Chain A
Amino acid sequence: MRSIVRNHRRSIPWIMALSFVVEGVDMLVPVLMGLIIDAGIVQGSLLVTVGGAIGIFVLRLLSTWAWTIMFAASQRARMFERHRLRVAVTAAVLDPRSKPIERPAGEVLSIATSDADKASDVMDMLPWAFPATTVVLAASVWLAILDLWLGLATMLGIAVMVIVVRVISPVLSARYDAQQSKAADAAATATDLVHGLRVLQGLGVQSRARAQYRRRSRTALDAALVNARFSGVSSGLTTLVTAAMMAAVVIIASQRTVAGDMTIGTLIAVVGVARSNMGMLQGLSGLPVWWASMSTSARRVRNLLADLGREVDDPELAVERLALARDERGERSPGERRPGTGGLRLRGSGTGRLRGIELLVPDGRVVAVACADMRDAEALIEAISGRTELAEVLLGGDEVTRENRFTNRADLLVEPHVVDLFDGTLREQLATRAPDSVLAPPQDGSAPDAWADAALHAAGADDLLRILPEGYDTRILDRGANLSGGQRQRIALARAVAADAPVLVLHDPTTAVDAVTEQSIAEALVAARQRPDRATLLITRSPALLRAADQVAFVRNGSLAGHGDHEDLMDHDDYRKMVQR
């Protein structure tokens, strides 16, 4: 919140100044009307009446003009802050340099959207709240100067109003929160059921899901009805206070007028001011709740950023400062192929589960590791990704560490086992990290998509081009939602192949693929990666992939239990059992 205000410290003063003018004129209009009725209509002067009418006309025009400038500026600031907070949160969440957090995605989303929006409302509120409050107080002071009792009555009215607001609004906001959480619960249930639609329909339990939603919806309704009653009472109370004050003002002012201390016009002005005053006060009465929700939101944004170890003003979060593997790939000239690294090596000291696994994945070879226990496979991936200390994994000649694990992404691609696809065409999916040397149109004049064809072929996904209605231009939805599990996995594999990383590590790349397709993937994948300057490590238990690999290491209980090619290892009982499950 402080960052927001600081950001606009230069514009806030003049926005406020304009706002003062606007609110002041609003309050002045009834006074002027009273004066004109007095001097024009009561005295019978047409000139004053018409002149006064024109005067008010012009004055209000000017004030409206000031308002539009003020409004545009404050809204611009508000919109800008929404955008800025949102981008900062997004960047901080995605930046690998941030601390990892354990928060559900939905929560992060609501912080980046609704909380960022609410926190930015401070730019909406500040320019209005302060001037409006001042003007209300000034009007009361004017009434007090006219007549002490009048002033006292107004002050009393304001005091009662404040008390009503202070007493009611906490109760009300608690009610409102309760209602919101019930409504949110119903909404979340709805979303959840639609997400699980296939599962529900697979089981054929739509009617039960319907009943469950109905229960939640009715609970939300009950809370909403209670809330409606409370809102009604609060609106009635404010109306009552306003009316009581009006009655008091009328009685006092008319007595004074009858006594000759005031003119009829002043009486009208007083009544008009009192009325506008109450109107403004009703508007202001919503302030505490608004402020509370605003600062809660701002706090949530700040806490999230703090958990990530970032700050909202961090210049490193600017979009173009965020690292991009393609930039770091070191292609000195476009189209130049990234040289090999000399391969990947595990030196065998081992950490955690893994003990003394020595493994060499040299350039030009496809090496497979078969782990009897999947936890060993996961530990291996952790070590290669640089997430474990002292793993002694060497990429070329350099050790992979926590510090350099994001800068060596140009040379080492560890494809996560869980497939995540992002919205984009099939071509864009495959080109996610493909370097220019791959994307460059072929010199021999063959099809421009030859690189993509090759990647799909290596992933056994040639059939996708036939199935997808628009070929490479078919839009793949977020998380590959319009594909089957097997199709998703093969697109991810093709994406990894197209990246043409000097060292590629694949973790169980064919688990969602049927036996027939797996067979063709094994042959095509190995053929695609067997280049003199490319090293490939497959962590898998699939017999098809193991058979196709140049070399297989068998890991059991965290250490090396066998070594050789697939045929050799099939003589090993444990190995055969593991493979032929």
Chain B
Amino acid sequence: MNADLSVVDWDADPEELLEADATARRQLDEHAQILPIATIGAAFAHLGGRLRQFLGMTVLTLLVVTCGAAAAAWMPRLIGDAVDLVQQGAGSDALWRQGGLIMLAGVLQAVFSALGWALVSGLGQRVLAGMREDVIDRALDLPAQSMEVTGIGDALSRVADDVDVTARAVNNVVPNLIQMGFYVVVTLIGMVTLSPWLLILVAIVVPMYLLSAVWYLRQTAPIYRRERVAMGARAQGLLSAIHGIPTVHAYGIERRETRHVAVLSETAVVLGMRVMTLVTKLVKIVVWPENLSIALVLVLGYAMVHVGGAPIGLVTAAALYLISLLWPMMNLIFSLDDVQSAAASLTRMVGVIEAIDPASSPGDERPLDASISLEGVSHAYGTDDDGEERVVLRPIDLEIAPGEVVSLVGASGAGKSTLASIIAGTLEPRHGRVLHGGADLTRADIEAARAHSSIVSQDVHVFRGTLKEDLRLARPTATDEELWEALQQVDASGWAERLPRGLDTEVGEKGERLTAEQSQQLALARVALQDPAVLVLDEATADEGSSGARVLERAALEVAHGRTTIIVAHRLSQAMVADRILMMADGRVVEQGTHDDLVARGGDYATLWEAWAG
């Protein structure tokens, strides 16, 4: 590992480069593909299925592209004929006629190539649009609560990077490639029909090309994969350093973070350079069949003319065919890279689409009221070394009446959030049944169950787009008045009115930066619009910011009014107001009752209260 990262050691082994940064190495090792990847065969089968949806257009496209290639392949023949005419000493008229034919071939080729490009690209874009929508479709139903974010990272790279890579290919490479490919095939056929002698040439040269292409693809595929991972990690490293600039400066770790990005960047360029070295090797190999074919055309041409008695024009046509093939062949080989990365992205997209079933309703039960009932519910994550489940919630039965306010109190790790997610229905417990208003969630109508309960946690997110669009996610039909009402309810109308364009102000990553408190108010306003019967607040007001006026807490209570509410409380002031307090420890409920009951009982809660109020 060299000390100065601005000097690149091109021969370095990427593994050695990564020695300099343990985190980078781990990222490249562990960037586990959590989500499934399809085989290349499955990906093409899927693609075939999608093309069948556009059958008419696909057939038309193939037809047009073939015609274009045929028109293009006609031209060398016409030129060869012209040479023959010249040799026969034909008159000016015949030559002009021949020129006219060449022009006609050109016009045909131009028209077909314009049509073909638009058709291929358009077809590709349509297929791609369908695919990206399906990827998102599946991604939105990934179990975000339990999956944790390694999987989310993978999902992100599929919905963004893979779609992007494929889209670029569809824009340029694919139309080019398909037209070139057809052109090459039609030209080869043209050559063979020109003279059987040329069959020798085709038989020798084509396999050489194919073999070298296969060799190249095999060599580069793993390098590309690693390079892609390094680029992803690099982007992530840079983003997190920028987001964490206050911490970077406070801890003085700017060098560590820069080096992290630099090591990943160097790994990526070294890998990139390896591909380039392979390209030069490929060209060195491919030049042999190329040269061979040029030499063969001359020698075979001699044979054709002097042994077979063919006219010179035929040799000319053959030579022109060859010259006009060299550049498309090279082009084809150079676009293999893009094709390869597009194919890799395709397998990742198809993997998500095919392996994950779209969310569907497990049954048709509908919640009848706002009550909640848990029967023998317990939960555990994975298993430890001894094959034992890592229990986070021990078996519990719980009845919550409509409109009741229950608060969960306990140390971190006591199972509060797990219980809250299970109650909200966003986490499926390993054992037991959860009933919302009498409907078993494992047999409920999915949209009805989703609309019935909402959970607001500490994870805030402001969606990109206008404030109006963000709020309308919760209720698409909401009028401006309703939106203002919701904002009013969470005490956010003040700052919302002061935004430069009110409800039409761009918010989210691109727009106005909202404070943590404002974002949380927005989350509560969404709930007010969504209007669920059951509301779970999981530390929703924990990180309260300025003024200390308990804005969020008031807003949360305001929104919770009239709903069955479960509060995972941080501050005892929140717990106090509940109809019932569940004190949790080690995955079980240890005390239960109203605030006054629990204080009077003199247990754990009372001790806590004592310390707080003292």
Contact = CB atoms under 8 A, between A and B. Distances in A.
16 contacts: A36-B298, A64-B283, A72-B277, A86-B234, A91-B254, A206-B450, A213-B133, A267-B83, A268-B83, A319-B4, A406-B252, A420-B240, A511-B543, A513-B412, A515-B569, A578-B548
Interface in B535-552: 539, 542-548, 550
Pick the 5 closest A-B CB pairs, nearest first.
Answer: A243-B106, A325-B252, A236-B114, A204-B450, A420-B244
A212 B262 CA distance: 38
B299 interface: yes
B353 interface: no
B292 to A, nearest CB: 8
B454 interface: yes
Contacts of B479: none
B152 A481 contact: yes
Interface string A226-266: 01110111011101101110111011001101100000100
Contacts of B292: 57
Interface in B439-490: 447, 449-461, 463-465, 469, 473-474, 476
Interface residues of B, number: 196
A319 B246 contact: no
A171 interface: no
A29 B608 CA distance: 91
B212 interface: no
A247 B249 contact: no
A109 B542 contact: no
Contacts of A570: 614
Contact of A210 (B140, B284, B294, B316): B140
A73 to B, nearest CB: 10
Interface stretch (A133-141, A188-196, A294-302, A396-404): A188-196
A502 to B, nearest CB: 15
Interface stretch (A9-17, A39-47, A350-358): A39-47
A61 B183 CA distance: 26
- Which residue, A189, A205, A232, A514, has most C-beta atoms of chain B within 10 A? A514
Interface stretch (B38-46, B89-97, B369-377, B556-564): B89-97
Given A200-B140, A206-B140, A236-B113, 15 more contacts: A37-B298, A72-B280, A79-B276, A87-B258, A113-B238, A190-B135, A190-B159, A193-B136, A228-B175, A232-B119, A268-B83, A374-B545, A418-B246, A486-B412, A512-B458
A423 interface: yes
A456 to B, nearest CB: 12
A485 B542 contact: yes
A183 B163 CA distance: 10
B346 to A, nearest CB: 16
Contacts of B109: 239, 243
B140 A67 contact: no
Contacts of B96: 251
Contacts of A268: 83, 316, 319
Contacts of B155: 194, 197
A83 B153 CA distance: 24
Interface in A138-185: 179, 183
Interface in A479-493: 479, 481-482, 484-487, 490
Interface string B159-186: 1100110010001000100000000000
Nearest to B382: A469
A343 interface: no
Contacts, number: 560
A466 B414 CA distance: 12
- Which residue, A220, A271, A487, has most C-beta atoms of chain B within 10 A? A271
A194 B156 contact: yes
B341 interface: no
Nearest to B304: A41
A372 B316 contact: no
B285 to A, nearest CB: 10
A422 B292 CA distance: 57
B98 to A, nearest CB: 7
Interface stretch (B214-222, B320-328, B492-500, B594-602): B320-328
B287 interface: yes
User: Chain B's interface: helix, strand, loop or mixed, by majority?
Assistant: helix
Contact of B141 (A190, A206, A477): A206
Contact of B570 (A68, A235, A325, A513): A513
B116 A511 contact: no
A126 interface: no
A516 B8 contact: no
A580 B573 CA distance: 7
A190 B294 contact: no
Interface in A266-286: 267-268, 271-272, 275-276, 279
Nearest to B417: A484
A255 B95 contact: yes
A220 B411 CA distance: 49
B107 interface: yes
Contact of B79 (A75, A271, A425): A271
Interface stretch (B120-128, B194-202, B203-211): B120-128
Interface string A492-532: 00010001000000000001111111011000000000000
A573 B348 CA distance: 62
A193 B412 contact: no
A14 to B, nearest CB: 17
A91 B287 CA distance: 44
B95 A198 contact: no
Interface stretch (A333-341, A361-369, A407-415, A445-453): A407-415
B140 A519 contact: no
B430 interface: no
